[in-house]
Amino acid sequence: MIQIKDLSHYFELGKKGDKTTIPVLHDVSLSIHQKEIVTIVGKSGSGKSTLLNLIGGFMRPSKGHVWINQKEVTKLNEADFADFRLNHIGFIFQNFQLIPSMTAYQNVELPLILKGIDEVKRAEITRETLERVGLLNYHTHYPSELSGGQQQRVSIARALVLNPPIILADEPTGSLDSETEADLLGFIQQLNQELGITFLIITHDEEVASIGNRVIEIRDGRIMEGSVSQ
C-alpha cells in the first residue's frame, strides 16, 4: 500500500553562501500493507511528523521515493499530488483543521465539492458519513459549537467521506481528554475492521500506539532496529 525507500529530508537554514543543513530524516525505508494500522512513535523532533508530511505531499523530500498504491507520489507535481490526495488519502490532524466559517455538514461536504460530485449525491453521502460518526444531529453546528471529540469526529468524517484507502493521522488524540481519546481509538479500529482502511498514525502517546498492528519508533530521523510488531 505505502512503500518508502531511502527517504531523507533536511532543512536548510541561513542565507546563500552561509547555509546550515539540518538533517531530519535519514534513509528511511518502510512498507505499510493494506488494512494495517501502523503507529509511528518518537519524541518531539524525532522526524515522525516530517515523515507523515512527506508521505502526504505537504513537503518535498530531499532524497528518496514514496509509492502509494504503486504510484510514485514523490514524482508528482503539486497539482497532481493534490488530485491524488483527494482521491486516495484522508487526513486527520491534531488540531482538527476544520474551516471555522463552515458548519459540520459543510466541512464534511468539502472534499465532495472539490471532487465535483453533484449536489443530490453529495447530500446523501455527507449525511451518511455524519451518521456514521454519530454527528448527524450536529450538522448545522459550527466547529466552535462542538466539543473537541465532536470536532475530531467531524474531521474523521471529512477524511472518510470519499472512501480513501489510506488515512494519515497526525497526533489524532493530541487535543482530547483520555475518555474521548479511548472512544476515538475504538472508532479508528472499527473503521479499520469494517472498511479495511489503512491507518498510519503519528503519536507520542503509548495508548494510541498500542492500537497499531505495528509500532515503529523513530529516533533522530532513523527507524530504530527492532521496532515492535504486534
Could you list the residues that contact other proteins (CB under 8 A)? 53, 56, 58-59, 78-79, 82-87, 89, 91, 93, 95, 97-99, 101, 110-111, 113-116, 118, 158-159
> How far is residue 30's CA from residue 161's CA, in Å, rounded to a whole number?
27
Phi, psi at 33, each rounded to 5°? -95, 165
| Angle ∠(61,51,201) on CA atoms, nearest 5 | 155
Of 86 and 123, CB closest to other proteins: 86
Of 105 and 217, CB closest to other proteins: 105
Quote the least distance from Cβ 73 to other proteins, whole Å: 13
Phi, psi at 8, each rounded to 5°? -130, 150
Phi, psi at 67, each rounded to 5°? -115, 135
Quote the least distance from Cβ 215 to other proteins, whole Å: 25
18: Cβ–Cβ under 8 A, 6 or more apart, which residues? none
> How far is residue 203's CA from residue 216's CA, in Å, rounded to a whole number?
10
> How far is residue 172's CA from residue 125's CA, in Å, rounded to a whole number?
23
Quote the least distance from Cβ 56 to other proteins, whole Å: 8
Of 107 and 209, CB closest to other proteins: 107
Quote the least distance from Cβ 159 to other proteins, whole Å: 8
CA distances from 191 to 82, 97, 143, 166, 175 (A): 24, 21, 23, 11, 21
Quote the least distance from Cβ 224 to other proteins, whole Å: 25
> How far is residue 196's CA from residue 36's CA, in Å, rounded to a whole number?
8
Give me the torsion for CA of 81, 204, 222, 169, rounded to 10°.
Answer: -10
Of 59 and 224, CB closest to other proteins: 59
Of 168 and 211, CB closest to other proteins: 168
Of 159 and 185, CB closest to other proteins: 159
Quote the least distance from Cβ 217 to other proteins, whole Å: 23
